[in-house]
Every structure is written in structure tokens, then in C-alpha cells.
Structure 1
Amino acid sequence: MEGVERQRVRRRHGHLLLQQAAEDALFFGVEHWQFGHASTLLTRHTVLVPADPIQRLLADPPDLPVRAGLDEIAAALRTAGTAVVQAPPGTGKTTLVPPAVAALVDGKVIVTQPRRIAARAAARRLAQLLGEPVGETVGYSVRGDRSVGARTRIEVVTTGVLLRRLQRDPELRGIAAVVLDEVHERQLDADLTLAMLVDVRAHLRPDLLLVAMSATVEAERTAGLLGHAPVVTVPGALHPVTEVWCPLPTGVRRSDDRGLTPRFLDHVAACVRRALVEQAGDVLVFLPGVGEVSAVVGRLAGAEADVRPLHGRLPPREQDLALTAGDRRRVVVSTAVAESSLTVPGVRTVVDAGLSRQPRTDHRRGLAGLVTVSVSRAAAEQRAGRAGREGPGAVYRCWSQAEHAHLPPHPEPEIATADLTSFALEIATWGHPDPSGLALMDQPPASAMAAARATLAGLGAVEEDGSVTDRGRDIAQVAADPRLARALLDGAEAVGARRAAEVVALLSEDVRAPGADLVAALRSVRRGGPGAPAWAAAVTQLQASLPASQRGSGERMTDDVAVGLVVALAHPDRIARLRPGGTAYLMTSGTGAVLAPGSALAGQPWLAIADADRRPGVRDATIRSAAPLAEDLALEAATAMWHESDEVGWTDGRVVARRVVALGAIELSSVPINDPPPELVAAAVRDGLRQEGLTVLPWTEAATALRHRMAFLHRTLGAPWPDVSDEALTSSIETWLGPELARIRGTRDLRRIDVTSALRRLLPWPEAGRLDELAPERVTVPSGSAVRVAYDGDQPVLAVRIQEVFGWTAAPALADGRVPLLLHLLSPARRPAAVTADLASFWRSGYPQVRSELRGRYPKHAWPEDPTDEPPRRGVRR
């Protein structure tokens, strides 16, 4: 037995991790032939091999780099109960870590993957290594598809599936360990699952083993969340990958208002054909979405290779076809599903378009969706690594080396950009409506959380403090976005369980709607069109998630009516009505929307919009999918948005008061109001003054003069004398015009405002008592006349006839002597004769010329040679 044990240990290449577990396992005998060490004769003896398939695999595991870290992972789990495995893609962590963990425990091991396609592929790979079909020792569970048996010890699931289980059973009874794979992708579900599992270990299951696996350098942050878990680093075994830069040809744009340009997709296809000529092995192509995958697959028709699409919407059989190497060379054209969580065998060349899709949400307009962005440098390196798993490879990058230097270093975590409605409901149902109490890698933005809570409150799912309601728990039981879950629960009562599930599945599976027509899309998938298998599985699952009392409810409406109502129940903020006399629509959220040209829905008076996106710089959103809707059903679906209000606004220079009935931003009817509330009138006038300026007020000569005097003092002396410019007065309307605004009932009342009195409210006290001293309204000249001072220029001006200032040697200075009056000396006919601020100088040098020019013209008036010694006169000489 000692020799057998030595041979067994030797065959395991020194992995003592498995020794203790193997000693407790069942063994069976097999005949093993080998050459003897001392002779050339064949000898026959019996080797004991574990009967347990997991032990058999670990006794002779595949030659993968992660084998070197299995002992360290086991030691970490025995001592700390947690571990973080940092290993690049291709090291075999998804293949060998789960069975290594299973060898340490008695219960089931759950392994998470970010996508359904990756979960199925990981389960198939591990089952093949065990020599079993999927569903025996290794199984999987994803939305709409499950293959698990009574003997299953390792179950691969998506993070969404594990979230549902955690909500139903926080103790995870029967589960001994959880392995979270691909945590570096920072998907929202993955971040939340990790936080909830930390909570479970801290309060319910300290015995639950937890392993987080990442392909990037954020392992230390993850380890901190797990209570300073040991970090096991496994070096990669990638072969060298040659970089080939393929910048766009001159004049070719990557994208325009409609998305990626056809010429850019031509460029990607040309790079693939070039790679087929220059490199060996299979080619893996990365594109941002399903539409681009299909476009490039079409452009590669006739290539000397099997061209296979790969994305999450394909049926499992077609996905398997793309993931299985064949006799011919392959080109696998994929979305980001193949970036890190899938192994595509045979690939020696990667062609990277350099783009990815990320969630973005316009919280103000209530529009969420995916946008196309440049990949990060980390993602580009990860994609390139796919070419170096099996031997030296090459990556063809469809951009320039200079552009590469400006890419962001890492992708943004989904929690920073995504719609957080599902997240907010999950944490409320978990009992942590405040996310700061959870072990999250990053906290969500406050504005996004506020918008999510507002949406949930509108669904009746949470209380004001964010805690979950009974209705919220019912919504959370449905494996769908909370809006879709509400539509399923309420729609089943109105249109029947089956039809409600069909429409919700149509929305959740993101089935393409030709011409934006969702009714046509529903009929297509019923006939077995694109996306039908996944849709049918989702329908079954959704119908099963309904309460037993609703599952048998029959269909009560036609498709045309039912689809619109269910969509409206899901997105009441996207109910839209055709604008009068136009082709654009107005949504209840206040956002405009338009259909693409040629849509069969054009001209429908009401629409229930399921999907719309708005490009930067474009006023209206583009409707991607919608269904016709009747007005009465719109009111039924969006009852919470129906409101009646008194609206008083400023329109075309006048105050308009109406009583309005509206559905959100859509006005249904209105009637005039004869006696509107004063506070609304005041607010309308404020808006009008801001829009049209202060000229709408009745500016009398006295009010204008007072404003000019105040402006002069502010300009000359500064504070506390106030700024009375248009900008300053408009921004402080409530301060100086407040009491007058409160008395306004309509436009006519504007003409009754005493602007002079209103301006006096701005005068500072006690300085206001010196107003007439510092900036007198009139100045008495030597003739005894009180002449008005003009303050509307840069310097105060006194316009007076020359004869009235005889005897003055200097003009008075204002503002405590700081600014001399500027004298406009007038002829007897009150025409300007001279302008001066230095009267003494004028009498000496300027007056003689004026006297010689004017005394002949005005002989009846005094023109003395020395005006400083002449008495002033108001009229003619006597």
C-alpha cells in the first residue's frame, strides 16, 4: 500500500491539498501496465484510484497553472474560511478551484458566473473532465434553464440566480461554499452578491467558505471586504502576443449619430481577413453588440474559415457550435461574453474593435440603456490575452497606438453608471435600505439611489424611509426588473397570466422589435422567430413566479391592447401622446420622442414605449420599441401620475392662469382661473421678469431717476449702496418687489406697481438719510433755479444756461466731494455751448470764444467780459 500511495502522490504532481481528502474516499482497483525499472519486461500490478469523480480529477488534474496554488487556497480556507484568488484568464481557476473547494466540504459548492453562456460552458467543461454528463456531479442553473440532479455537488449559477436564493434563504442551507468568479468585471449583481455573502458570514453562517476569484490587481480591495482574507496569486502562463495596430483609414469615422458606421465595420472585417492570411489558428473577434456581430459575420461571407457568431441571445446549440473546435479553421465573432469568462479553444489571433457596451442612465428623463464606449486598457489587455493561451499569438487592434495611450486604465464599475432600481429593491428586501451598511467595493451615487427609491415608491415597493413593503416583497420574488415585475403582477389580472408573461418576457429578453413594433415582435417569437427559445423559457419561468391564484387567469384582451397595457404598467413614465399637428410624441416624463422613419406605429395617438434612447445634443429620444395604447388604459396604468393643478405662468408678456388636468407632463384638459392663488401669480411674474427683463414694469421718470442715483453711489462709494443693474435687480426680485408681487392678480396689476417705492426698499440704513446730500436730485445754481442732475452717464451732468451760473468759480462736487459735476453750459435757446468740469478754466479760456459767437445772436442776454463778477440771470437783460 505504501508504494501505491507514493505512486498516487507522484501522479498528482505533488499537490498535497488532495491527500487528506483522498484518504477518506472510496477506491477501486484497475490494472496498470508499465515497464519495470530493472528490466525490459512488462509488469502488471494494481493501482488504487479514487471512486469519487472529484477525487479522480484532483488525483490527476489537467496541467493548468492554477494547480500550483491549490494547496495555498485550501490552507487559506481551513484557517480563515475565505480566500481571494488572483489569476489571469487562462490559468484554469474556473476549472480546478471549484473541485478543490468541493474536496474540503460535505455540502454543495455554488460557483457564480456573470453570464448565462459562461455558466453553462463552465459546467460543461468540468463535467467533461469528470467523464460525466452535466447534471450529475456538476450542474448549472441559469434563468430559464437548469440541469441539476440529486448527486450534484458543484452547481454553476449566474449571480442573479444566487441573489434570488439568498433572498429566499439567507442561511443557504445545504450549501457549504460559494466561489465567486470574475469579480473583476464589477457587474452590479456581482458586487451586491459579494456584499450579501459577507453579511451572511458575519451574522448567520460563519462556517460558509467563500472564495472570490479575480483576473486583475484589485484583489487586495476584495480581500479587505472579506475581512482581510488571504490572497493567493497564481502567475499566468500566457505565451507572447504580438500587437498589430490597425488604425482607421483617413476619412473613416468610427461612429455617427446612428451608431457605428458601415465603413468602420468594413474596416473590422478587413482586419479579420488580413489576420486569416498573416496568422495561424482560429480568430476571435470582439465587437460591442449583437447588431455589430451580425453585420461583421455577413461581411465575412466567403472567408476561408467557418464564421461563427457568439453572444448571449443565441440558442445554446449555436453557442456550443462557436465554442467547439472543428476540422476547419474558425472565426468566432463575439460580444464581450468571450472577454474573460469563456474559453474559446484554438484561438491564436484576436481582432479587437476596441469598443464595449456599458449601462448609462439619464435619471432626469427616466431613460436607461446601453451606450457604446471605448474599452479600457485593462480590458484591451485581457482580450489580447485570449490569443496567447495555447501558443504565441497576435492581436489586431482596430485603432492606433496613440489612441491606445488615451484609453481609460480600467472600466467604470457598473454601480457608478447603471440604473439602480433593482439594486435598491434588493438591499431593501435584504434589510439594508442604506447601502453604506454593506460591504460594497464602491458606494452608489446618491442621485442614482434617490431616483431608484422614487421609482420604487411609485410602484408601492418601499416606504418613505426606503424599507420594503409587502408589495415590494411580492415584486422582489419575480426574477425581473421591478418595473417588469409590477407589470407581470398587475398585468396578469388585466390581460391574463399567460399573455402578461409573454409580454414581460419579450421585454426582459430584449427581443428586437421590427420598426419599433412590439406587437409584431410578439407574433414573431410565437412563430419561432429570432430569440424564440430564450423567450419561451422566460415565459414559463415568469408564469410560474406568479402567485398560485393568478397563474390560471385567462386571456382577456387582444394582442394589440394587451401589449400596450403591460408595457404601460412597466413604464408609466414612458406613456406618450402624439403632439398636436406633429409627428413627435411627448412622454409623461416630459421627454420628447420620435419614431424612426417608416415605423408602422407612426400616427398612433398614444404609445406605450418600452425602450428609447437619446443621443447627446439631440432634443428628442428615438423610440426603439413600443405598442399602441388607448387613452383610458393609459390613465389606468399611470394612475399615480394623474394630477389636477392650478398653473399660473407668464406667456407672451402676460400672466395666464389655468386649472390643468394632466398625466405627468401630458396635458389632458384645462380651464381658465379668474382668481388664481396670489403666490402662483407672484411666481409667474418673477419668471416673466427673468425672461423678458425689467422693461415690463411701469418705470416712471422718478423711478428711473432714483435708480440712476443709486447706481451712481454704488459705482462711486460701493457698499452698502446696492447694485441696481438689470442682473442684480432680477436676481433679487423677492427682496425689493416682494410686497407688490403679492398683490398682483393679472397682467393689468403690473401697471399699478410703484417701482419708486419698491426701489427705496433697497436703500441702506442709516446711509439712506444722506441720499439727497451725496447724490442730490437737483442742484441750486447761482440764479436760484433748482436744476435736475442727470445720473445716467459715467459722470453726473448738470445742464444749465450760462447766464444762470455767473458768479460761480467752481461747480460743486458730489458723493462727499469725490466726483465734480459735469456742466453742460447751454445757450439762451438751451443748445449746448460748452462742456466742462473745470468752471474757472472755462471762464478764462473758453468763455471769450463762446461770448464772441453768441452775443450777436442773443443780444438781449447778458454777455459780460468777466462773468465771475456779474450777477446771474434767469432771463433777458433789463
Structure 2
Amino acid sequence: MSIVPELPELPISDVLTNIDLSLEQHLQLVLEAPPGAGKTTLVPLSILKHQSDKPIKNWLGQQRILMLEPRRMAARSAATRMASLLNEPVGKTVGYRVRQETKVSRHTRIEVITEGILVRMLIQDPSLADIGLLIFDEFHERSLDADLGLAFALQGREIFRDASNPLRILIMSATLDGSAIASLLDSAREDPTDTAATPIISSLGKQYPVAIHYGARKQQHEDIIKRTVLALIEITNTLEGDILVFLPGYKEINNVRGRFSASLSDSQSSLLHIFPLYGALPFALQQQAIEPLSQADRQRGARKIVLATDIAETSLTIEGITIVIDSGLCRQPIFSPATGMTRLQTNSISQDSSIQRMGRAGRLEPGQCFRLWSEEQQKLLPRHSPPEILQADLASLTLQLLAWGIHEPEELAWLDIPPRGALSQALDLLKQLGVIQQHDKQKALTDNEPALDHWVLTPHGTQLVSLPIHPRLAHMLLRSRTINQQKVAAALAVLLTDRSPLSNRFDTDITTQIAIVQGTSHCQKQFRSWQQRAQRQALLFEKLLSDLSTDADESCSENDSDANAIAEQNAAGYLLACAYPDRIARRKSAHSNQYLLSNGRTAIIDFADPCCGHEWLSAAEVVGSTQTQKTPQSNNTDRIYSACPLDINLFDGALSYLINASTSIHWDENTDRFSAEKTHAVGAIVLRKERLENITLESKINAIVTHIQKRGLNILPWTKSTRQWQARVTLLRRIYSSSNDKARSPWPDVSDQHLLASLEHWLTPFLSKIGKRSDFDKLDLQAILNTLLPWPLPQQLTALAPLTITVPSGHQAGIDYSQTSPVLNVKLQEMFGCRSTPTIAEGNIKLIVQLLSPARRPLQVTQDLEGFWKTSYHDVKKEMRGRYPKHPWPDNPLEAVATKYTKRNRDKG
């Protein structure tokens, strides 16, 4: 006799037999079914029923069905609904396992769990030996744990399960492309003889028509609370039916609830039952939002209004809803590898999400959906929401990959491979927490090698894997045992695991909230149920700690000789610093509200906040600048929302392992002088510096050379004369070198580029006395450069590239080598009688002759002096003769006497 009675008829019922037959013939199956089809409750029960009715072809046997839900609320609700269909209490045939709560027994055949629990089950038992069917429900949500759980399950099945006892996998999705999932499942099979494609079964579901109404164009910084309240007022006054309102978070839910309730008359308030619905809400209050109103309430005309986050998009069925009001917003955690921080960011939803939200109004009868944005904006929404694996903190995933024994993420089957940048960030954090160590220390790590290949878990890391919490907080819990402050750590873990409803009701100091969790401080009535739940969770964390061995504590606290001496009032600061060593904060100046974080970023606190009076803080929650209100004071800075004071003396004891001592021999850009010091720092925060007295001359000179290479050669005392010398040598190198091999030239390369690259060969012998910027001006740069010319090149330089030449007037005229070709600047009258252009370098280089007026202004530039006399000179003569009548302007300059004087002075001479 079947243990499952007759099941109700729902849209999914049409394909239940096909599902069972497919699983009988295949080890994997993809089921596409829209929200509301009934897949979550009927599919597991139907499979159990079909198998219990088949004594011969019963592939399930006595094994269990394990079904994953992305959220705790969905897991509890699904198990509760299935148990009610069996007329049994939860925990008998159908049970569930979520954080803080387990309701299963030896009779349980269907167990509903959250995804994080599956990953830990797989790490403990990769074979899932007593599981016959693994169901991934709502896989389209693409949570990080679902992606990782599927990857582990596929590999674990290939390695640890055999043909006589296979693990079947069923993936159920509402909107994701089923063919993509099927292809992933096919690619994960290692048996070359298994060529059958993964079957895909689709259920059309049953959806009543929903009329969609668009609002005005939504502005970027619009008050969504005001717009939602106005919509609620209008709709409750004009339409009948229960209403589901989608809002981004519980803060908006509370604000909408308060403003809307204040707008109601007493008679309206008695008929409108307003329920919040979000993840951190106690289960009993969640059930009130989900369950239908009582018959008595219905008879007197009462209506239900549910204010929910995106938790109500799928998985849950909320009875009676015929109207949906959609804000079009959701709140998503976005991780930045650049900052190492995750921030909650309010974003527009995807088109898929808008369709799912709209569908909530058409489950029972035709409905209406009011979208608080324009139809044009709807077309611009992204098609799908990005999977969590592409934008999440991957510290937990990386820890679990290492615990699984993965060397490269590509070893597993993924729809989206974890990004390398986020993996590298995660490895840095795990290393800082003492969770991992380099497994092959002889081999240097390079960017081209697999990100995980050289890392293994430490004993401390092995213990962390067993704790169902982020590695930061797991590390904090373990370290709390070294100071005997497990209760404080457990309270902190509760507050930091799920966003506390108290977080916006107190100042930044988290110790106030710790006291409420511990029951030593007053708690307002509306938070009593949360307080009780938080205290139960804290007790679970304490029990988890007590069940662990203390072997790893010795290795993780080897520098904590003074750890037990930490005063109780300093425990929270110490524990937060353990969890968030990158968020240790130091005030920038005595009366500032700006803090330098150890990760190098700047964060602010309100001046009125009590934490602002402390020089040192341990910050737990830091929100990125894109989420803070931009003011002239806070622009481009982060904001600290949760922290507590940190005792600086801990850096001499329990937190000494965080201090990095580094020797720095460098040129200080701030003081513009050479510096040699030892720095003790926590990340970017400098604790103290010590001057180094005994350093080698080589170290000093290397630092100075580095400074010159950074600043450029202009830091040296160049003069016009030294630049001329450089240009003359460069010219001769070009002239007297092989056209194919300039290295054969006797003249060295003295270009700025080469001089800068070869400082150690020509400048270092002269840098020993350099200590400050002004010392560079004392260098005899010309003498230093002269050392680059071996004998007899100095004499040849003078002969081949002279600084001056004798012109026909008998005077010495200077040559300018700063141009591409050398230029002779000379008065026109001094070149009378010169028939050919002057040359240098044994006649290899014609000078460019710049002929000057008596006032030494350019008249003509030429390399063809003879041609000038015959042509252009006569035009110059006509123009200049009247302007400079005292100077000679002969008709035949080639026969005239060259002179630098006027006609009168020339005749006297």
C-alpha cells in the first residue's frame, strides 16, 4: 500500500507520470515549470508514491529524496505543505533541515534543505550514500550554493557511485533555459558509452490573464516609498482583492507600512491586514503572510496586503493574491575584489523577475499588476539577473573547493566558472586568516598557474569547513576560544550572519546589539521574537564550538601568549579584528570623523556617533561610497555602519600576528630626501617607524637610482652646456656608425633613454653623498658625463663637433647642436665672400646656416649658401638696406669683405 495518498490536481499533475518514467530510464532530468505549477510540493510526493507502488522497478528503494530550496522560508513552507498533504506532522515522512532548525526522523523519506547544507553534506560524504534522488528546486535563481552543490554532486556521483546504486539528479527551473542545464549535465558524464541526452520535460502550468498597468517614468533617485504608498492608497480605494507589494528590503517594507497605515481611517484599518514578508522575519510571522485570512475575516470584508522582498517571487504560494504592485527594485549583495567588501546594492530587477512577480496576481483568477515604472523602461531591463557566482564574495566557495580537493575550478562542471579575480581575492583572505598555506613552497607562484593549485588547508582551516558560516566569522568563533569569550563571539556571529533589524536603530557601536542578543540589555517589544531567535542561534554556535576539538586552536593562536589576558570590554573589538583584519580603522587626526582602514580605503562616521571619539575601531559593516549619501565631506569615501572600539595594546599581544614588519630603504617623496626605516603596520595603517642606522652603501645607492628612474634625468643639474655635449656625442654616434650596427660606433649612446636605463654603470660612483634634493645640484654632471668618453674621443669631439667655427669675418661663431641638424647662427655680413656652406665632422655634416640681421633677428635659414647669394639675398638686401643703412649691403656679396661692423667702423678698421 502506498504511503502517499491521492494528490491534488495542479498544473504539474499532467507530467508527473512522465517524470517518474524518465527518472526510471535516466540518471538526470530537467523539469521546466512556471511558478504556481505545483512542482515544489507534488513532484517529490509523486515520485515517492510511484516508487512505493512499484515493488519490482523501484529504483528509489529505501533511499531518501533530498530537495534543495534557495531560502529557509521556502524550505520550511514546502515541507509543511507536503506533510499536510500526507496528513502527517512535519518530521515524519517529510522533514526539513535549515540553519538553527531540524525536523527529521528515522521515518523521513523526503528531506527539504537549504543549499548551504547540501554543500556541507557533500564535503562530509561525497557519495551521498543514502540519497536516491537529489532535486534542485528553483535552480533558475542561480544561487552560489546551488551552482557549487550541483558541481560537487556531479563529480561525487561519477567518482563514488556505481551503476548498481546511482544517484539521480532532477533540476527544476521556472525561467532558465532548460537546454543549457541539460547540456551541462551531459558534459559532466565521464562514461563514453552513455550517449543519451538528458531529457527535458516541460509543464505549461496554469496562469490566468493578468492586466499590466505601467506608471510614469521612474527617476534614478525617486522616493520609491512615496510612490508605493500613493499606489496602495489609490488601489485599495478602487479595486477589490488581496495585494502583494514587492519592495527591495525590510527597511522599505517598514517605511511603507508605517506611512500607509497612517493614511488609513479607523474603519479602513480594521479591514486591511498588512503583513511584512522577508527572510529575517520569524517563521511564525512569515506563515501569517503566506496563509489565507480566516473565514470570519473574509465574511466581514477583510483584505490582506503583503509587503514582501523578492523572496515572494518564486517557491512560495501566497493565498488569495489577485493584485501585484511592483516597485521594480531588488537588493543584491555585490562583492568588489578591488575593495574586498560586499555591499548591498539596490538595482532594477530583470525582465524575468518582473514576469514572475506579475504572475503572482494570476494564480487563482484573473488579476492585475501595477508596475511603478514606464513601459519604455521595461524594455530596457536586462533579460536575466546575473548569477550570484559572478558577483559574490567567493571566500566560502574557495574554502569548500580546497576542502573538496579541487586544484582548478575547471575540474568541475559549471554554468559559469568562478571569476579568477574573486578567487584570488578569496585566497588572499583565507591566507590572512591562517586558513590555508602554500603546499609547495619550493615552487614560485605565477599568474599563469591554477589559482588553487599550491594551497592546502591548515588544521585551523579544516575546522573552519565544518562551521556553517562565512570563513571570517568561523575564524572569529574559533579564536574566541583562546580568550574564553565564546558567548560574545556567538552573539557577533548572529548579528553579522543575517542583517539585524536592530542595525539602524542604534549608533554604530555593535556592543549595544551584543547586549540585546545576550539578554543583558532592554529590547523593545517588537523585537522580542527576533531576540529569542537570535539567542537560540547563538546557543547553536556555542554548541558547535564546544563539539569541535581544540587541537587547531594551538596553531591558530601560536602568537597569542597574552590572549587570555584580554579584558571583557575589549573582547568584541578583538574578535571583530580577527574576522575583519582588513577593516581595522584608525582615525586620521584628533578631531576628524575620517578613518583609514587597513585595506587602504577611507571611511567616515557621523561626528555625533560615540565611536567617533575613539582613535582605533574594529569595523564590521562598511558600505561602499556608491551607497553612501554624497556630501562634500563624504564624497568618494566609505561609511562605517557597524563597529566597536579597539584597544591598541592588543597589537602588542593577541593581535600581534596581524602586524607586518617591513624594512624600507627608499627616497621619501614627502620630505624629498633619502630614508631608511623599519615600519610596523597593520595593512595600510602604520603603527610605528624606526630609523635604520646601519645600512649598506649599495642599498642606499639602489634607492637613489630607483628615485632617479622614477623622476627622470631632469633631477640632475643639466645645463645648456651639458645638453650641447650630449647632442654633439649623439650626432657623432649617428655619423660614425655602421648603417646596420650602431653598436660598432666608437661613440657611446648618451640619449636620455639609455642614460636612464644604465644609471648603475655611469652615475652610481658619484651618489654616495646624496641625502637630500639639494645634493643633486652639487654634482659635476659635465665631469661625470666626460667619463663616458674613453681616450682619444674627448679630443676627437672637439675636432669633429666643435662648439664654434671661424667665419669669414675672422670671428668665432657658435654652433647650436640642440636641433636635429646643427645650426650656425651668424650675422649675414660676416659671411660675405663665403661661397659654400660650412661643414663639420670632416665634411660629413653641412651646417644649417641661420643668417641674422644686424639686430640678430633671423633673416634666412639655408644649407645652400651659394644659392642664397645668387637668389634670395637680393630680396633681403632690398628690404634690409633701408632698415639698416649703416651696415653694408653690397650688390656682389661674394666679392665683398666680411665684417661684423658697420660701414664706418669697418672703414676705420
Question: Does 1:405 find its partner at 2:379?
Answer: yes
* Aligned mate of 2:574, from 553, 565, 577: 565
Q: Quick check: 1:123–1:139 contact (8 Å CA) kept in 2?
A: yes
Q: Quick check: 1:495–1:556 contact (8 Å CA) kept in 2?
A: no
- Residue 200 of structure 1: SS of its match in structure 2? helix
**Could you tell which deviates more after superposition, 477-486 or 647-656?**
647-656
Question: Does 1:629 find its partner at 2:621?
Answer: no
2:587 maps to what in 1? 578
The alpha-carbon distance between structure 1 residues 393 and 604, as it changes in their structure 2 partners (threshold 3 A), is same
**What are the equivalent positions in structure 2 for 1:64-75 lying under 5 Å apart?**
64-75=10-21
Q: Whole-Å Cα distance in 2 between the matches of residues 770 and 77 of structure 1?
A: 94
Q: Whole-Å Cα distance in 2 between the matches of residues 348 and 770 of structure 1?
A: 99
Q: Whole-Å Cα distance in 1 between the matches of residues 30 and 858 of structure 2?
A: 94
Question: Does 1:310 find its partner at 2:277?
Answer: yes
Question: Does 1:825 find its partner at 2:852?
Answer: yes
Instruction: Report the alpha carbon displacement of residue 457 of structure 1 after superposing the two structures with TM.
Output: 1.6
**Could you tell which deviates more after superposition, 629-638 or 316-325?**
629-638
Question: Does 1:295 find its partner at 2:255?
Answer: yes
- Residue 7 of structure 2: SS of its match in structure 1? coil
Instruction: Report the alpha carbon displacement of residue 798 of structure 1 after superposing the two structures with TM.
Output: 3.1
- Residue 359 of structure 1: SS of its match in structure 2? strand
Q: Whole-Å Cα distance in 2 between the matches of residues 540 and 694 of structure 1?
A: 67
Structure 1 residue identity aligned to 2:292: A
Structure 2 residue identity aligned to 1:735: A
* Aligned mate of 1:242, from 211, 218, 228: 211
- Residue 176 of structure 1: SS of its match in structure 2? strand
Q: Whole-Å Cα distance in 1 between the matches of residues 490 and 367 of structure 2?
A: 47
Question: Does 1:219 find its partner at 2:165?
Answer: no
* Aligned mate of 1:659, from 678, 681, 702: 678
**Could you tell which deviates more after superposition, 535-544 or 157-166?**
535-544
User: How many equivalent pairs are there?
Assistant: 798
Q: Whole-Å Cα distance in 2 between the matches of residues 246 and 713 of structure 1?
A: 78
Q: Quick check: 1:111–1:181 contact (8 Å CA) kept in 2?
A: yes
Q: Quick check: 2:82–2:94 contact (8 Å CA) kept in 1?
A: yes
Structure 1 residue identity aligned to 2:67: V
2:167 maps to what in 1? 208
CA deviations 1:132-163 (Å, max 9, x no partner) are 22122211111011222232211111001111
1:34 maps to what in 2? none
Structure 2 residue identity aligned to 1:275: I
- Residue 590 of structure 1: SS of its match in structure 2? coil
CA deviations 1:143-199 (Å, max 9, x no partner) are 011222232211111001111211222222332221111111111001000111111
2:663 maps to what in 1? 645
**Could you tell which deviates more after superposition, 430-439 or 814-823?**
814-823
* Aligned mate of 2:687, from 663, 668, 679: 668
Q: Whole-Å Cα distance in 2 between the matches of residues 477 and 452 of structure 1?
A: 18
**Could you tell which deviates more after superposition, 182-191 or 367-376?**
367-376
* Aligned mate of 1:471, from 453, 460, 469: 460
Q: Whole-Å Cα distance in 1 between the matches of residues 31 and 617 of structure 2?
A: 50
Q: Quick check: 1:515–1:596 contact (8 Å CA) kept in 2?
A: no
- Residue 295 of structure 1: SS of its match in structure 2? helix
**What are the equivalent positions in structure 2 for 1:73-88 lying under 5 Å apart?**
73-88=19-34
Structure 2 residue identity aligned to 1:391: E
- Residue 824 of structure 2: SS of its match in structure 1? strand
Question: Does 1:368 find its partner at 2:368?
Answer: no
CA deviations 1:358-379 (Å, max 9, x no partner) are 2222223222222111111111
Q: Whole-Å Cα distance in 2 between the matches of residues 243 and 822 of structure 1?
A: 85
Instruction: Report the alpha carbon displacement of residue 804 of structure 1 after superposing the two structures with TM.
Output: 2.0
- Residue 129 of structure 2: SS of its match in structure 1? coil
Q: Whole-Å Cα distance in 2 between the matches of residues 712 and 230 of structure 1?
A: 78
* Aligned mate of 2:199, from 230, 240, 260: 230
1:45 maps to what in 2? none
Q: Whole-Å Cα distance in 1 between the matches of residues 37 and 239 of structure 2?
A: 24
1:139 maps to what in 2? 95
Instruction: Report the alpha carbon displacement of residue 578 of structure 1 after superposing the two structures with TM.
Output: 1.3
2:242 maps to what in 1? 282
Q: Whole-Å Cα distance in 1 between the matches of residues 686 and 494 of structure 2?
A: 32
The alpha-carbon distance between structure 1 residues 133 and 687, as it changes in their structure 2 partners (threshold 3 A), is farther
Structure 2 residue identity aligned to 1:802: L
Instruction: Report the alpha carbon displacement of residue 314 of structure 1 after superposing the two structures with TM.
Output: 0.9
Q: Whole-Å Cα distance in 2 between the matches of residues 707 and 242 of structure 1?
A: 82
Q: Whole-Å Cα distance in 2 between the matches of residues 272 and 729 of structure 1?
A: 76
**Could you tell which deviates more after superposition, 542-551 or 441-450?**
542-551
- Residue 625 of structure 2: SS of its match in structure 1? coil
Q: Quick check: 1:682–1:741 contact (8 Å CA) kept in 2?
A: no
Q: Whole-Å Cα distance in 1 between the matches of residues 324 and 787 of structure 2?
A: 74
* Aligned mate of 2:108, from 146, 152, 155: 152
Q: Which runs of 5+ in 1 are unaligned?
A: 1-24, 26-49, 256-260, 723-727
The alpha-carbon distance between structure 1 residues 600 and 382, as it changes in their structure 2 partners (threshold 3 A), is same
The alpha-carbon distance between structure 1 residues 86 and 594, as it changes in their structure 2 partners (threshold 3 A), is same
1:847 maps to what in 2? 877
Q: Whole-Å Cα distance in 2 between the matches of residues 387 and 542 of structure 1?
A: 41
Q: Whole-Å Cα distance in 1 between the matches of residues 585 and 23 of structure 2?
A: 56
The alpha-carbon distance between structure 1 residues 686 and 324, as it changes in their structure 2 partners (threshold 3 A), is same
- Residue 356 of structure 1: SS of its match in structure 2? strand
Question: Does 1:420 find its partner at 2:429?
Answer: no
* Aligned mate of 2:290, from 314, 323, 329: 323
Q: Whole-Å Cα distance in 1 between the matches of residues 233 and 156 of structure 2?
A: 52
Q: Whole-Å Cα distance in 1 between the matches of residues 687 and 417 of structure 2?
A: 41
Q: Quick check: 1:375–1:407 contact (8 Å CA) kept in 2?
A: yes
**Could you tell which deviates more after superposition, 835-844 or 565-574?**
835-844
- Residue 419 of structure 1: SS of its match in structure 2? coil
Q: Whole-Å Cα distance in 1 between the matches of residues 604 and 463 of structure 2?
A: 35
Q: Whole-Å Cα distance in 2 between the matches of residues 359 and 761 of structure 1?
A: 64
Q: Quick check: 1:351–1:398 contact (8 Å CA) kept in 2?
A: yes
Structure 1 residue identity aligned to 2:640: I
Q: Whole-Å Cα distance in 2 between the matches of residues 771 and 114 of structure 1?
A: 82
The alpha-carbon distance between structure 1 residues 674 and 386, as it changes in their structure 2 partners (threshold 3 A), is same
Q: Whole-Å Cα distance in 2 between the matches of residues 561 and 812 of structure 1?
A: 86
- Residue 807 of structure 1: SS of its match in structure 2? coil
1:492 maps to what in 2? 481
Identity %: 31
Question: Does 1:524 find its partner at 2:516?
Answer: yes
The alpha-carbon distance between structure 1 residues 168 and 712, as it changes in their structure 2 partners (threshold 3 A), is same
Instruction: Report the alpha carbon displacement of residue 746 of structure 1 after superposing the two structures with TM.
Output: 2.6
Q: Whole-Å Cα distance in 2 between the matches of residues 300 and 409 of structure 1?
A: 32
Q: Whole-Å Cα distance in 1 between the matches of residues 256 and 788 of structure 2?
A: 70
Q: Quick check: 2:830–2:900 contact (8 Å CA) kept in 1?
A: yes
Q: Quick check: 1:497–1:555 contact (8 Å CA) kept in 2?
A: no
**Could you tell which deviates more after superposition, 76-85 or 780-789?**
780-789
- Residue 410 of structure 1: SS of its match in structure 2? coil
Q: Quick check: 1:84–1:229 contact (8 Å CA) kept in 2?
A: yes
Instruction: Report the alpha carbon displacement of residue 556 of structure 1 after superposing the two structures with TM.
Output: 8.0
The alpha-carbon distance between structure 1 residues 549 and 127, as it changes in their structure 2 partners (threshold 3 A), is closer
Q: Quick check: 1:825–1:835 contact (8 Å CA) kept in 2?
A: yes
Q: Whole-Å Cα distance in 2 between the matches of residues 597 and 153 of structure 1?
A: 58
Structure 1 residue identity aligned to 2:383: P
1:541 maps to what in 2? 540
Q: Which runs of 5+ in 2 are unaligned?
A: 52-59, 187-196, 439-453, 554-562, 744-749
Q: Whole-Å Cα distance in 1 between the matches of residues 345 and 102 of structure 2?
A: 31
Instruction: Report the alpha carbon displacement of residue 870 of structure 1 after superposing the two structures with TM.
Output: 2.1
CA deviations 1:606-632 (Å, max 9, x no partner) are 101111022249432100100111012
Question: Does 1:94 find its partner at 2:40?
Answer: yes
Instruction: Report the alpha carbon displacement of residue 651 of structure 1 after superposing the two structures with TM.
Output: 2.2
Structure 1 residue identity aligned to 2:469: A
1:746 maps to what in 2? 771
The alpha-carbon distance between structure 1 residues 226 and 775, as it changes in their structure 2 partners (threshold 3 A), is farther
CA deviations 1:629-665 (Å, max 9, x no partner) are 1012245336144323224232254334433222221
Structure 2 residue identity aligned to 1:69: V
The RMSD of aligned alpha carbons is 3.7
